[in-house]
Chain A
Amino acid sequence: GAGVSQSPSNKVTEKGKDVELRCDPISGHTALYWYRQRLGQGLEFLIYFQGNSAPDKSGLPSDRFSAERTGESVSTLTIQRTQQEDSAVYLCASSLDGQGLDGYTFGSGTRLTVV
């Protein structure tokens, strides 16, 4: 597609429920990244996928967070047993290759509110 697409754009969920966030990267971009941005804060790295290599999961804050990517296409970020501190905007980005030297292209994010 023309840009990185994320869905849903907004999600309100009850504490303890599981949520799944989706990211469609730019076609042909081999690298995909998930970041979290809490209100008024900077972007926190969560996870990185590059082609068929093992993902870099070093930024995932707890084992309630997981992500998958099928080949070089869609990725889903799953948060199990959501907590209020999970409320944030979840941003997905893709880049042409794993070095990201042409810059990252970000989606508009999914705003998650846990009540």
Chain B
Amino acid sequence: SQKIEQNSEALNIQEGKTATLTCNYTNYSPAYLQWYRQDPGRGPVFLLLIRENEKEKRKERLKVTFDTTLKQSLFHITASQPADSATYLCAPPNQAGTALIFGKGTTLSVSS
């Protein structure tokens, strides 16, 4: 069955540094992958979508890469700020294409 793994449950970095979060998937090849941000007590918020034929996608301080050979997506936040502290979720579609399957997320803490 499809499996989504996000490299670590928690990541602590200092303000101004670049945060890099990893998402690995196994047993299938999704046509795209989405990234979401979730704050405590709230539903996830959509950030970016990257397709399998796109190597990289950028949005302001966010950058996402998609390596179909490694079966991996990297999510970068440059010049990180304390306000970036949240849980970040990786979400490719299921094999049927009917819904997203979510990783457990990586909780990022940015200290000032």
Contacts and interface: CB of A to CB of B under 8 A. Distances in A.
B41 A108 contact: yes
A48 B99 contact: yes
A41 B89 CA distance: 11
A98 interface: yes
B99 A103 contact: no
Contacts of A109: 42-43
A77 interface: no
Interface string B87-105: 0010001101111111111
B95 to A, nearest CB: 11
Nearest to B93: A100
A45 B99 contact: yes
A56 B96 contact: yes
Given A93-B43, A101-B49, A108-B43, A42 B98 contact: no
A71 to B, nearest CB: 19
Contacts of A35: 102
Contacts of A98: 98
B46 interface: yes
Contact of B43 (A41, A59, A107): A107
26 contacts: A4-B43, A33-B99, A33-B100, A41-B104, A42-B89, A42-B103, A43-B89, A43-B102, A45-B94, A45-B99, A48-B98, A48-B99, A56-B96, A56-B98, A56-B99, A91-B43, A100-B99, A103-B36, A103-B46, A104-B100, A106-B44, A106-B45, A107-B43, A108-B43, A109-B42, A109-B43
Given A42-B102, A104-B100, A109-B42, 15 more contacts: A41-B104, A42-B89, A42-B103, A42-B104, A45-B101, A48-B99, A91-B43, A98-B98, A100-B99, A101-B49, A103-B34, A104-B34, A104-B44, A108-B42, A109-B43
